A and B are shown apart, each in its own frame.
Chain A
Amino acid sequence: MVPVEWYLILASAVFCIGLFGVLTRRDALYFLMSVELMMNAANINLVAFALYYGDLTGQVFALFVIALAAAEVAIGIGIILVLYRNFGETDVTVPTEMRW
């Protein structure tokens, strides 16, 4: 069986890839995908440690996280659609109506 620490390393790597995408991508859709990666990194941890501890809490919570991530994407796509209608782009650096 694969030692549980390896799952931690895998999850951290996936999380960091997602965070890198969030910080560097300018397109809102890529941004959403990167956030999904970060959430799925959490799911890897939850499922791996549910197996390690032998209880189902982590696995059930992972299902909750998947459902919530889907809901978040639904809202996100809606906002990006309105963004596109108003600004004609999905680039997150374009809307700068407000400045301090």
Chain B
Amino acid sequence: MVDQLPQWAALAPVLALAATGLLLLLIDAIKPSARSNTSMAVTSALGALVSLALTVWFVVAGTGHEDTGGAIYLFADAIKVDTMALFFTAIFASVTALVVVAAHDYFHDHESPAEFYSLVLFSATGMALLAVANSLAVVFVALEMVSLPSYALVGFLKKNRGSVEASLKYFLVGAVSSAIFVFGISLVYAATGSLILSDVAEGIETVDGLAGVAGAGIVMMIGGVAFKTASVPFHFWAPEAYEGAPAPVSAYLSSASKAAGFVVAFRVFTEAFPIGASISAGIDWVLAFGILAVVTMTLGNFAAAVQENVKRMLAYSSVGHAGYALIGLAAISAGGSSNDAVMGAAMAHLLVYGFMNTGAFLFVAMAERWGVGRTFADYAGLAKRAPIACVAMAVFMFSLAGLPPFAGFFSKYFLFMGAIDNGFVWLAAVGAINSVISLYYYSRIVKAMFLDDPSSESALDAVDVRPTGLYGAVIFAAVATVLLLPGFGPVIETAEAAAAALF
């Protein structure tokens, strides 16, 4: 049935998100006075689910897969729809759906929540566009389309000083890193004379005299990617932005926006700067990513271990997970036999991470909605008042730590095994040691919820409200984290097939 559709229909998941964003603006413009929180949330959730359904349908039908005619190119090769693009679009659409449902309760007493939903949907459109970008021009435009709504979302509580400060810091780092990124693109264009990824790759092979210019450009583009994925050296904004932002926005940024950074890194670096040609031109970006991966994992996990604030701990843990996913780029080599296995595992890890990390941040959103406080000590004894939500949170924590019966274990296992098979034992070793460290701070929160007693009798009286949307989103994320356990086979197969198409 899919093959009867016109070529441009391959962009349907992106178009569904964009149309929903515009529809939300239209509803808000026609009926600005109506109390529209619920209708907005329902509309945006439906839009995200339609996009997700289209994406899953395309993956199952094999759109852009080699067996059904290969990747679909549109707009003079500027857009390329393949399995990897669809895989990542599925992550973006799922996280968006979870976040808008949760935001319905989080912003229940906000004056004008309507803009929130359209900003989230526009940002998601940018992410989906980033996944299909096949030209550095589209990459930059889509990257800005993700970033600009995000700055506004972080500062959405405009009378809250923390939210405003977070938004300012995110914007300052973001503006500088996107300027560095575009300067990097201009240098790559200067060295190769093209912006289409495959033409850039040809230019890199014959770069000769301009190898230094191309190298500087690639290093600057790594900087832009590091910002989007919250990796060292552009990770400073992450703890501030995630702590100050409204919790649903933190969930969105740390899961979907991070995955968006990785999809652009995976595509641009494997397709535009092929490893063999880059290394013979003296540009060893694999080594650069290796160093970044090690530093990012270690810094994220050690910083997370000393936090007292739960949201800040999750922020640093998200920096640590960026380090794990970077292994997907750092543990590949020219002609390596397990290149597709390790990059596919990194993609699968980002999918699992999308559910477990979104869920964890949405639990924090629920705690903020209750008003129980922000530190580990404030969460003491929560399990007695809200057992189901706390079990869900425990699932997220153990899955993030990578304990065996959860989906997070499998994605990390495949990632580290792929790295070892490809001869990068040291990366796998650093990753494994870091996972052990991370168990300390993840289990701290489980201990606080289930074993500790509340600081006072009345400390948890606020936990009387039962925000349905938030509860539903948290529990759905937990169920997805558990169901990815039996469902991990198809996920990793799709991811590896998607990665194999890149090499």
Q: List chain A positions with a Cβ less than 8 A from chain B.
A: 8, 11, 15, 18-19, 22, 28, 31-32, 35, 38-39, 41-43, 45-46, 48-49, 53, 55, 57-58, 60-61, 64-65, 68, 71-72, 75-76, 78-80, 82-83, 85-87, 92, 95-98, 100
Contact = CB atoms under 8 A, between A and B. Distances in A.
A64 B137 contact: yes
B303 interface: yes
Contacts of A97: 161-162, 165, 244
A78 to B, nearest CB: 7
Contacts of B244: 97-98
B175 interface: yes
Contacts of A87: 161, 164
Contacts of B166: 98
Contacts of A83: 164-165, 168
B164 A100 contact: no
Contact of A86 (B141, B151, B161, B240): B161
Nearest to B143: A68
A94 to B, nearest CB: 9
Nearest to A7: B190
Nearest to B165: A95
B194 interface: yes
Given A72-B144, A98-B162, A100-B307, A92 B168 contact: yes
Contacts of B161: 86-87, 95, 97
Interface in B134-148: 136-137, 140-141, 144, 148
Contacts of A53: 193
Q: Among B161, B162, B183, B194, which residue has the most Cβ atoms of chain A within 10 A? A: B183
Contacts of B164: 79, 82-83, 86-87, 95
4 A-B pairs closest in CB distance: A45-B186, A38-B179, A95-B165, A42-B186
A53 to B, nearest CB: 4
B484 interface: no
B171 A76 contact: yes
A33 to B, nearest CB: 11
Contacts, number: 127
Report the interface size class on chain B.
35 or more
A43 B179 CA distance: 11
A38 B144 contact: no
B168 A41 contact: no
Contacts of A95: 161, 164-165, 168-169
8 contacts: A15-B183, A38-B179, A39-B183, A42-B185, A61-B189, A68-B144, A79-B151, A83-B165
Given A42-B179, A82-B167, A71 B187 contact: no
B239 interface: yes
A92 to B, nearest CB: 6
Contacts of B180: 38
Contacts of A100: 239, 303, 307, 312
Q: Among B162, B171, B180, which residue has the most Cβ atoms of chain A within 10 A? A: B171
Interface of B: 136-137, 140-141, 144, 148, 151-152, 155, 158-159, 161-162, 164-169, 171-172, 175-176, 178-180, 182-183, 185-187, 189-190, 193-195, 213, 239-240, 243-244, 303, 307, 312
Contact of A32 (B152, B175, B189, B239): B175
A75 B182 contact: no
B176 A39 contact: no
A91 B194 CA distance: 40
Given A61-B137, A97-B165, A72 B178 contact: yes
Contacts of B193: 49, 53, 55
Contacts of B169: 95
Given A86-B159, A98-B244, A38 B171 contact: no
Contacts of A80: 168
B90 to A, nearest CB: 27
Contacts of B162: 97-98
Given A68-B140, A72-B178, A98-B166, 20 more contacts: A8-B190, A11-B186, A19-B176, A32-B175, A38-B183, A43-B186, A45-B186, A57-B195, A58-B186, A58-B195, A61-B136, A68-B144, A72-B175, A79-B151, A82-B155, A83-B164, A97-B161, A97-B162, A97-B244, A98-B244
B189 A58 contact: yes
A79 B164 CA distance: 7
Contacts of A96: 165
B299 to A, nearest CB: 12
Contacts of A46: 186, 189
B211 to A, nearest CB: 14
Q: Among A41, A43, A45, which residue has the most Cβ atoms of chain B within 10 A? A: A45
A39 B71 CA distance: 33
